[in-house]
Every structure is written in structure tokens, then in C-alpha cells.
Amino acid sequence: MQKDPALYTKKIRSFYHKSRRMPSFAELADLFGFQSKNASAKLVKKLVETRILKQNNRGFLIPGPLLRGLKLLGTVEAGFPTPAEEELVDTLTLDDYLISRPDSTFLIKVSGESMIDAGIMPGDLVLMERGREPRTGDIVIAQVDQGWTMKYYEKQGCAIRLISGNKKYPPIIPKEELRVAGVVVSVVRKYV
Amino acid sequence: MQKDPALYTKKIRSFYHKSRRMPSFAELADLFGFQSKNASAKLVKKLVETRILKQNNRGFLIPGPLLRGLKLLGTVEAGFPTPAEEELVDTLTLDDYLISRPDSTFLIKVSGESMIDAGIMPGDLVLMERGREPRTGDIVIAQVDQGWTMKYYEKQGCAIRLISGNKKYPPIIPKEELRVAGVVVSVVRKYV
DNA sequence: TTGACAGGTGAACGATCGTTCACTATACTA
DNA sequence: TAGTATAGTGAACGATCGTTCACCTGTCAA
């Protein structure tokens, strides 16, 4: 009979998280109490079939989609299913999903309520991508006076306006040049 | 003179992203056109000092904080600094920041505007943790009738109410038992 | 002109890598 | 009761690992 692969998954994930690399076959044997690397090899063969692990061209272990990502269940309010078949579940890594150009992406913490109507609350983390050309409707980080603000970017012809995401605040029409630090590509909020 | 480590960082990050593991010394030499593994060894020695790389107890490469994470710049609206010293920058990995129990965390897409006052818009992704005990003020995914909804959880004594994050919707007082699928631990929104 | 030094070559080292083979023990099926 | 598949042991294999040594080649300051 097949043993439950969830237990193996958990231990391997824990190893991967702690040492930031996949275990070798010897380390796998150590993890599960095997005396022989061959026991690891047979286990790996199964886990590869269940998409938990992968192996590269030299046999080294690579985390599979089910090990790296989170399970995407469905849609709330439409009623979401809980697929019994683990293989049918779509998986997603937040880093892969949100970050396309890691070298020019930066994190900024939000304070103030100037974008609260856009669903960006104080305390949120914002991912800003530097070097991207802002388009109308984008949320940008721009230099105004001494500090930096986050506003909607709007361009009509040559006229550029910065519009707040809070009805209480008036739009800003920059007098001379406008320094845009970057475009907001995503927002992240952590409860608890 | 020291060469710019940013170029090395970029290539190594690209390798790490593609093959989901750190390169060996031979692969490093291949990446940069070295003929000798020793050239890699000397390069690694420097990159370890700049916190881009790490090495474990057997010399294998491990991604350092500057390779894995995004740079946390500061706070918008308070004016954020751009530290010249790369070593002073705090770095953060989204996966590490948002996910504490990967085995019981799931992703759900939001449709509808029932939590729009809480800054959760349609199209957002929500991270739900299963098995966590909900507390008053938490946002939960709960089973109501046939489908699932996302509401604020409120408990006063034995009375449990589910409150919508949209003033238009009335609170729900569950008649019998309440099936809570999980507690929302974070929200993620992707523009572009 | 000399010396120091950073950057790279090339070869050798013991250790560990994943793989493979033959073999044993257990559990379940026919 | 015999047969078969599952799970693990233990040893050997060539290949690759990171490390180390001596050596070469420029560049730059003294």
C-alpha cells in the first residue's frame, strides 16, 4: 500500500525552508530514518510521480509545484470547491506570481489614508517597480515637495495629474517636472 | 578593483529562478565564462562577504538575503530614504513574510464586493489558513447555505455574527452550527 | 624598475553525489 | 500454502562536488 505522501511532503518542505535547498538522497534517508540511500531513491520515484518533487538532468532534487506553491482553491462568493484529487489543484507561488523583475522591485510600507478608496490601507506593503513607464490609471510613487506620495497617474496629452485615492484629497498638478520613483505593481496586506 | 557585484547577482538570481537551486562552482564558472572552478571560488568568497550568497557547512551555495528578498525601502507619505549602502537595506521575501504554515494555507480568489470596505476588492487573492481558531475582528471564510462567503467574525458570549465589510449588506446570524473553512491571514492584489 | 596584489588557469585531493544490483523481510492475494 | 508485490538493507560504480596548491598575467603605486 501507498503511504500517505503528506507526511513526507511536510518534512521535505520543512528541510527546504530551513536550509533553503533540497536534501540529498543521504539527507533524505536521514530525515526519514532510512539506513540506505536506495530507500530514498524509491521514495523519490513516487514523489516525482505525484508532482511533489522533480529531478534535474543529474538527479538532484528540485521542489515540484506541490511543494513550492500554495493550493488555489477557487472563488469565494461563487462557492469554491475542494478538489479531492490533489493533482487537479492549481498551485501558485506568491513570489512568482507577484514579482517579474526582482532586481528593480522594491517594497514600501504605506502610511496614511490617501489611497484608501483604492483598497490600499495604512500598514499595507506595496511593491514598486522602478523604470516602468507609468500609464493612465496606474498607481505611482512620485516625489512631491520634499517627500514621496502614492497617487493615481493620469496623462491627457502633455498634462499630467496625480489623483488621490481618497475623495477628501484634491488632485495634484505638478508645476514643473514630475519625478516618478516607480509604478505600484501589487499590494500585500498581512493580518494577524 | 572590485567589479560591480550587481551583474553577478543578476545572473545568479536568474539561474536560481530557472533551475530552482543554486549553481555549483562549475556551473558558476560556466555562467561567467571562467575556465577554472577556482575563479568561482574566489568570486564566491567576495559575494559571501556582501551577503548576496551564503555557504552551508559543506560549501554548497545558499541564496543570501540580498539574493532572495526584495529591498524594503521605507514608508511612503513619510518620505522614504534610498539608502546608498546596500548592506543597510532590510530585505523581505513575500513567501516568508506572508506564509507561516504552508501546509494549511490556501489561496482563494475574491469575487463580489462584500468586503470592499475592508480594502478587499474583487479580483484580489486571499490567503486562508485552515484550522486556526477565529477571533472577533478576524475575517473568515464561512459556509452559508450552499456557498462560501467572506465576512468579519464577531463573537459575543455564545452569539456569533458574521458582518459584511460592505455597509449595503446586513450581518448574518447563523441559526445552527457555523462552518468556518478558515481565517484570512493576508490579502494580495496584483495590478498590471 | 620593482613589488604587491587582484583575477584567472590547471591539476590534483578526498568526500559526497545519484544510481544500480543483489538480497531480505513483511503483507497480502489467489 | 505458494506467489507476488512493497519496502528496506548494504555495498559498489563512475561522476561531480568544493577545496587547495602552484603558477601566470596584467595593473598600479612606490
Residue A46 CB in 7 A reach of strand C: no
Report d(CA B77, CA B79) in Å as an integer.
5
H/E segment holding residue A108: strand A105-110
Highest-pLDDT range among A126-135, A155-164, A176-185? A126-135
Q: What was the pLDDT predicted at B178? A: 82
Place of cell 458582518: B163
Determine the average pLDDT of the residues in A10-14.
93
Q: What was the pLDDT predicted at A1? A: 40
Residue A117 CB in 7 A reach of strand C: no
Instruction: Count how many pairs of residues, chain A against chain B, have C-beta atoms within 8 Å.
Output: 196
* Res A150 pLDDT > 70: yes
**Residues A88 and A134 grouped into a single domain:** no
Q: Catalytic one among B151, B164, B175, B190?
A: B151
Q: Which amino acid is at B55?
A: Q
Q: What was the pLDDT predicted at A2? A: 47
* Res A44 pLDDT > 50: yes
B:153-172 residues touching chain A, CB 8 A cutoff: none
Residue A25 CB in 7 A reach of strand C: yes
What percent of chain B has a predicted confidence (pLDDT) above 70?
A: 91
Q: Per residue in B58-114, pLDDT tens?
A: 999 999 998 999 988 888 876 666 665 555 568 999 999 999 999 899 999 999 888
Determine the average pLDDT of the residues in A165-175.
85
> Does the annotation count A151 as an active-site position?
yes
* Res A36 pLDDT > 60: yes
Interface test with A, best of B4, B52, B107 (most A CBs within 10 A): B107
**Residues B87 and B111 grouped into a single domain:** no
* Res A114 pLDDT > 70: yes
Determine the average pLDDT of the residues in B178-187.
93
Distance A14 CA to D3 C1' (A): 41
Please answer whether residues B185 and B127 qualify as being in contact, where contact means their C-beta atoms are separated by less than 8 angstroms.
Answer: yes
More confident residue, B3 or B190: B190
**DSSP type of residue B22:** P
Among B125, B147, B68, smallest CA distance to A91 is for: B125
**Residues A126 and A72 grouped into a single domain:** no
**Region of poorest pLDDT, from A75-89, A120-134, A137-151, B14-28:** A75-89
* Res A119 pLDDT > 70: yes
**Residues B62 and B132 grouped into a single domain:** no
Among B156, B158, B162, smallest CA distance to A76 is for: B162
Q: What was the pLDDT predicted at B2? A: 46
Last residue of a domain, one of B92, B117, B133: B92
Among A18, B47, B90, smallest CA distance to B55 is for: B47
- Looking up residue B43, the CATH number of its domain turns out to be 1.10.10.10
**Residues A54 and A110 grouped into a single domain:** no
Last residue of a domain, one of A60, A93, A126: A93
> At a CB cut-off of 8 Å and minimum separation 6, what does B155 contact?
B134, B135, B136, B161
Determine the average pLDDT of the residues in A90-99.
93
Q: What was the pLDDT predicted at B125? A: 96
Determine the average pLDDT of the residues in A47-56.
91
**Residues B69 and B119 grouped into a single domain:** no
**Residues B24 and B86 grouped into a single domain:** yes
* Res A59 pLDDT > 60: yes
Q: Which chain B residue has its CA at the smallest distance from A187's CA?
A: B189
Q: What was the pLDDT predicted at A35? A: 94
Determine the average pLDDT of the residues in B149-159.
91
Mean pLDDT, all residues of chain B: 88
Q: What was the pLDDT predicted at A60? A: 95
DSSP 3-state percent helix, strand, coil across chain A (nearest 5) = 30, 30, 40
Q: Which amino acid is at B52?
A: I
Strands (E), chain B: 53-55, 61-63, 70-76, 90-92, 105-110, 125-129, 139-144, 147-156, 159-163, 179-190
Q: Is position B163 within any domain?
A: yes
Q: What was the pLDDT predicted at A82? A: 64
What domain range includes position B181? Answer: 102-188
Q: Catalytic one among B114, B167, B168, B190?
A: B114
**Residues A82 and A18 grouped into a single domain:** yes
Question: Count of domains in chain A?
Answer: 2
**Residues A175 and A150 grouped into a single domain:** yes
Residue B35 CB in 7 A reach of strand C: yes
- Looking up residue B170, the CATH number of its domain turns out to be 2.10.109.10
Determine the average pLDDT of the residues in B129-145.
92
Q: What was the pLDDT predicted at A84? A: 54
Determine the average pLDDT of the residues in A82-94.
71
For residues B116-125, one letter each, b for 16 or more C-beta atoms within 10 angstroms of the residue's C-beta and e for the rest, the string is bbbbbbeebb
Asked if the C-beta of A75 comes within 8 angstroms of chain B's C-beta atoms, the answer is yes
* Res A137 pLDDT > 90: yes
Report d(CA A102, CA A98) in Å as an integer.
10
Distance B126 CA to C23 C1' (A): 53
Q: Is position B97 within any domain?
A: no
Q: Per residue in B60-72, pLDDT tens?
A: 999 999 899 998 8
> Does the annotation count B109 as an active-site position?
no
More confident residue, B27 or A78: B27
**Residues B184 and B106 grouped into a single domain:** yes
Q: Which nucleotide is nearest to A1 (CA to C1')?
A: D6
Last residue of a domain, one of B92, B116, B139: B92
Please answer whether residues A164 and A171 qualify as being in contact, where contact means their C-beta atoms are separated by less than 8 angstroms.
Answer: yes
Distance B56 CA to D20 C1' (A): 18
**Residues A53 and A131 grouped into a single domain:** no
